[in-house]
Amino acid sequence: MRVTNRMSFDQAQGQMMAARDRALQAQQQVTSGKRVDHPGDDPAAAGVMVSQGIAIQRLDTIDKTISSAQGEVQTADGAVQSVSTLLARAQQLAVQLGSDTYSAAERSAGAQEINSISSQIVQLMNTQVAGRYIFGGTKDSAPPFDASGNYQGDGNVRQIEIAPGLLQASSIRADVAMKGAGGGIDVFGALSAVSSALANNDGAGVRGAIAGLDKSTDQISAALTSTGGILSAFESAQQVGSVAKESAQKVLSAQSEADVFEATSNLTMAQQSLQAALAVTAQSFSVTLLNYLK
Amino acid sequence: MAADLFSLLVQSGNSLGAHSAAMSVAGNNVANANTPGYARQIANFAANPGVSSLGAGSVGTGVSLVNITQARDQFVERQMPNALAAQSRSQTESDALSALTALNPDLEGGLPNAMGVFYSSLQTWSQNPGDPALRQNVMGSTQALVTSFNQTGSAIASARTGLDASITGKINEINAAAKSLADINRQIEIAKSAGGQPNDLLDQRQTAIDTLATLTGATPYTDAGGDVSMALPGGTALVVNGNAGTFSAVPDPSNSGLLKLQLNRADGSPPTDWDGTTLGGTMGGLFAARDGALKTAADSVDALAFNMATALNTIQQNGYDVNSAPGVALFTLPATAVGAASQIRVNPALNPLELAAAGTAPAATGDNTNVLAMIGTQSAPLLSGANPAATMQTIVTAFGTSASQADALAAHDAAMATNLQNLRDATSGVSIDEEMVNLTKAQRAYEAVAKVISTANQMLDTLMSIAG
User: Does A158 touch chain B if contact means CB atoms closer than 8 Å?
Assistant: yes
Which among B105, B376, B426 is the nearest to A39, CB-wise? B105
Q: Residue B21 has what pLDDT?
A: 92
Spatial separation of the C-alpha atoms in residues B156 and B289, rounded to whole Å = 11
Q: Residue A175 has what pLDDT?
A: 92
CA distance A264 to chain B (A): 22
Distance of CA A215 to the CA centre of its chain: 35
Q: Model confidence over B177-222: pLDDT tens digits?
A: 999 999 999 999 898 888 777 888 989 999 999 999 999 999 999 8
**Mean pLDDT score of chain B:** 91
Q: Residue B2 has what pLDDT?
A: 43
Q: Model confidence over A173-213: pLDDT tens digits?
A: 999 999 988 889 999 999 999 999 999 999 899 999 999 99
User: Does A54 touch chain B if contact means CB atoms closer than 8 Å?
Assistant: yes
Confidence of residue B438 (pLDDT cuts 50, 70, 90): very high
Confidence of residue B443 (pLDDT cuts 50, 70, 90): very high
Q: Residue B78 above 60 pLDDT?
A: yes
CA atoms within 13 A on the CB side of B375: 31
CA distance A108 to chain B (A): 41
DSSP state, B278?
G
Q: Residue B60 has what pLDDT?
A: 82
Q: Quick one: CA dihedral A203, A209, A214, A217, positive or negative?
A: negative
Give me the amino acid identity at B402: S
What mean pLDDT is predicted for residues B121-139? Answer: 93
CA distance A190 to chain B (A): 30
Q: Quick one: CA dihedral A96, A97, A100, A106, positive or negative?
A: positive
Percent of chain B surpassing pLDDT 90: 72
Q: Residue A137 above 50 pLDDT?
A: yes
Size of interface A-B (CB pairs under 8 A): 195
Other C-beta atoms lying within 10 Å of the C-beta of residue B378: 24
**Of A57-66, A104-113, B223-232, B344-353, the least confident:** B223-232
Q: Residue B53 above 70 pLDDT?
A: no
Residues 6-65, chain B, touching A (beta carbon < 8 A):
33-34, 40
User: Does A50 touch chain B if contact means CB atoms closer than 8 Å?
Assistant: yes
Spatial separation of the C-alpha atoms in residues B383 and A75, rounded to whole Å = 43
Nearest CA in chain A to B433: A289
Q: Is-contact B303 B384, C-beta < 8 A?
A: yes
Q: A160 and B127 in contact by Cβ < 8 A?
A: yes
Spatial separation of the C-alpha atoms in residues B141 and B122, rounded to whole Å = 9
ipTM of the complex: 0.86
Q: Residue B80 above 80 pLDDT?
A: yes
Nearest to B391 by CA among B404, B377, B403, B405: B377
Q: Residue A280 has what pLDDT?
A: 84
Q: Residue B6 has what pLDDT?
A: 84
Q: B123 and A132 in contact by Cβ < 8 A?
A: no
Q: Is-contact B305 B341, C-beta < 8 A?
A: yes
Q: Residue B322 above 70 pLDDT?
A: yes
User: Does B132 touch chain A if contact means CB atoms closer than 8 Å?
Assistant: no
Q: Residue B54 has what pLDDT?
A: 65
Nearest CA in chain B to A134: B366
Residues 332-361, chain B, touching A (beta carbon < 8 A):
358
Q: Is-contact A58 A216, C-beta < 8 A?
A: no
- Cα angle at A142 between A179 and B364, to 5 degrees? 90
Q: B425 and A130 in contact by Cβ < 8 A?
A: no
Give me the amino acid identity at B265: R
Q: Residue A53 above 70 pLDDT?
A: yes
Q: B103 and A42 in contact by Cβ < 8 A?
A: no
Q: Residue B59 above 90 pLDDT?
A: no
Q: Model confidence over B88-112: pLDDT tens digits?
A: 999 999 999 999 999 999 888 899 9
Q: Concatenated DSSP letters for chain A?
A: ----HHHHHHHHHHHHHHHHHHHHHHHHHHHH-BS-SSGGG-HHHHHHHHHHHHHHHHHHHHHHHHHHHHHHHHHHHHHHHHHHHHHHHHHHHHHHHHSTTS-HHHHHHHHHHHHHHHHHHHHHHT-EETTEETTSTT--SS-SB-TT--B-S-S---EEEEETTEEEE-S--HHHHHH-TTT---HHHHHHHHHHHHHTT-HHHHHHHHHHHHHHHHHHHHHHHHHHHHHHHHHHHHHHHHHHHHHHHHHHHHHHB--HHHHHHHHHHHHHHHHHHHHHHHHHHH--GGGT--
Query: B32 contacts in A (CB within 8 Å)?
Result: none
Backbone angles phi, psi at A150, to 5 degrees: -80, 140
Q: Residue B1 has what pLDDT?
A: 38
Mutate to test the interface with A, among B72, B135, B308, B433 (most CBs of A within 10 A): B433
Confidence (pTM): 0.85
Q: Model confidence over A57-78: pLDDT tens digits?
A: 999 999 999 999 999 999 999 9
Q: A40 and B376 in contact by Cβ < 8 A?
A: no
What mean pLDDT is predicted for residues A24-47? Answer: 90
Nearest to B153 by CA among B339, B346, B286: B339
Q: Model confidence over B224-245: pLDDT tens digits?
A: 878 899 999 999 999 998 999 9
Q: Concatenated DSSP letters for A219-261?
A: HHHHHHHHHHHHHHHHHHHHHHHHHHHHHHHHHHHHHHB--HH
Q: B106 and A256 in contact by Cβ < 8 A?
A: yes
Q: Model confidence over A146-163: pLDDT tens digits?
A: 998 899 999 999 999 999
